[in-house]
Chain A
Amino acid sequence: MKFTIPIGPQHPALKEPISLRMTVEGEVIQDADIRLGYNHRGLEKLAEERTWIQNIYLTERICGICSHSHATCYVQGVEKLMELNPPKRGLYIRTLVAELERIHSHLLWLGVAGHEAGFDSFFMYTWRDREVVMDLLEMISGNRVHYAINAIGGVRRDIDEMQRKKILDGLEILKTRTEYYFKIGANEPTFVGRLAGVGYLSKEKAVDLCAVGPMARASDLPQDVRKDDPYAVYDEVPFDVCTADTCDVLGRTVVRIKELFESYKICEFLMKNLPPGDIAVKAPTRAKPNEVVSRYEAPRGENTHYIKSNGTNKPERLKVRAPTLANYPATVEMLKNGFIADIPLIFAAIDPCICCAERTVNIVNARTGEEKILRFDELRALAEERFKKMPPKRNAVWPF
């Protein structure tokens, strides 16, 4: 007997409202169908009516968690169109904020993953430590969410000696804490067992479906725009691209923890080698007719902006491709042949989001049309109950 389960449009673990309709047979998901557009704000059309400078703040509001990534992607594209060369110090500060943002996003995601796996102390630890990096961001930019640090031609705020010291101290705390999480992960067989083998995405499928970011890297695809197509100052900063070959949620967790260490390394390098000088150059209000493809590695994957100018002070076309959209086809693939009880965990692995609010899942019996409403905490209880009955996967190991 087959059932169809609609999930969403308002649902856990997804920042954007999205509707997924799953066909299940027993506990196993046979097929998943996707419907988007519940949060379509017509932003690309709006951008054509705004000036180059107004659009910085518009693109910043595409996303809350990775607000700096869209603004930077847009700004560095516009700088190419206007043929500007931002000063080194400005680029260093821009990169610093980008890496701090990656740290806060990955810590947030780790907490969500721990929560969905039923490991709530992990969630509380990571979210407590996330405050350290949030405070640093607030100190640098004045804001916790929309940093608004970017300007065309550089950044808007400088860093002084006291702030530099505070950032280095904060990084030291975060580093010791993250080492501890890495150790807990390795020594907690139930946590490893819950994550291993869930949401499998093979390397071939990841290539075919154009997966990006930690999803692709956990499927052993070493793609990272910071390395492949260095922007800002990434060509001078030493760091490694982190990959895992387990192709499941465990791999995605390990990739993100390893990336945290790389981000600490990058931030430390930036703070120790911060060059003196100006932070911005003056930008013109118009751009010559031209076009540019701007790429940026956001915490969730590659951001792509295509910007076309027509000689006026407004863009002719601004195309935005956010990483989550690129990962949807792969998500459908991961959900197939998984269990209903794994849905929260697979969702959480796609995209980190604050989903403390209770949401509902509507289970419809395809034959009788009978509906059953499950609150999200009940769905999670179902997941935990199923896992309690399962023997721990003894052979699953933490890949160091």
Chain B
Amino acid sequence: MNDLEIIEKTKSLLGDKIVEIANPAVRRIFIKVEPQNLVPVVGGLKKNLNFTYLAAVSGVDLGESFEILYHFGHNNGSLTVRTQIPRANPHIESICSVIPGAILYERELQDMFGIVVDHLPDPRPLVLPDGWPAGDFPLRKDWKFERPEEIIPGGKK
């Protein structure tokens, strides 16, 4: 199956749920969807086109909104499903019901961007330490690291 066949098949099966399909390079396809259509599109791709392997979930801070990219791998290349959610109300539906292996990537997304992934089977923090202050999301562009002042016990004042 080459890129054109994948695009054709995706259009005919899920055409009404897709905003845009791009094919910028060989074996690289980008599909843009509305957030509410994410789970049906991922489910359709898995069922009909055998995109079972989720390689990664990337978040990007675009300022007014967040972009979330779901990178899928396949024996014929790579396909990325992208969607945008507003920064003011960052909610996205979990795809764990379709792809159980997505859990760690979605938990990481919650930690690093403060995007709330709804209906996640296990929403505990994943990568940030236990005492991490609430509301600090390191990969947001407005977050800056400030090194805490070092205090040596019994040291000079």
Question: Which residues of A are interface residues toward B (Cβ below 8 A)?
Answer: 35-37, 40, 42, 44-45, 80, 207-212, 222-223, 225, 228-229, 290, 292-293, 295, 302, 304, 306, 308, 316-317, 319, 321, 325-326, 328-330
Inter-subunit contact A317/B58 (CB<8 Å)? yes
Q: Which stretch in B10-18, B36-44, B123-131 binds the other chain?
A: B123-131
Residues of B within 8 A of A229 (CB): 27, 73, 77-78
Closest residue of chain B to A45, judged by CB?
B138
The interface size bin for chain B is 35 or more
A225 vs B125: C-alpha distance in the bound complex, in angstroms?
31
Inter-subunit contact B53/A293 (CB<8 Å)? no
A35 vs B125: C-alpha distance in the bound complex, in angstroms?
9
Main secondary structure of the interface of A (DSSP, over half): mixed
Minimum C-beta distance from A29 to chain B (A): 18
Whether A45 touches B55, Cβ cut-off 8 Å, given contacts A223-B75, A229-B77, A295-B78, is: no
* Residue in contact with B73 in the complex, picked from A208, A228, A328, CB distance below 8 Å: A228
A–B pairs, 14, beta carbons within 8 Å = A37-B125, A40-B127, A40-B128, A45-B139, A45-B145, A208-B99, A210-B102, A228-B74, A304-B55, A304-B73, A316-B60, A317-B58, A321-B55, A329-B101
Inter-subunit contact B77/A304 (CB<8 Å)? no
Inter-subunit contact A36/B126 (CB<8 Å)? yes
A92 vs B32: C-alpha distance in the bound complex, in angstroms?
36
A308 vs B126: C-alpha distance in the bound complex, in angstroms?
25
Whether A44 touches B139, Cβ cut-off 8 Å, given contacts A36-B127, A223-B75, A329-B101, is: yes
Residues of A within 8 A of B139 (CB): 44-45
Minimum C-beta distance from B22 to chain A (A): 10
Inter-subunit contact B101/A208 (CB<8 Å)? yes
A36 vs B104: C-alpha distance in the bound complex, in angstroms?
10
Inter-subunit contact A210/B101 (CB<8 Å)? yes
Residues of B within 8 A of A330 (CB): 101
Minimum C-beta distance from A235 to chain B (A): 11
A37 vs B125: C-alpha distance in the bound complex, in angstroms?
9
A293 vs B58: C-alpha distance in the bound complex, in angstroms?
11
B71 at the interface (CB under 8 A from A): yes
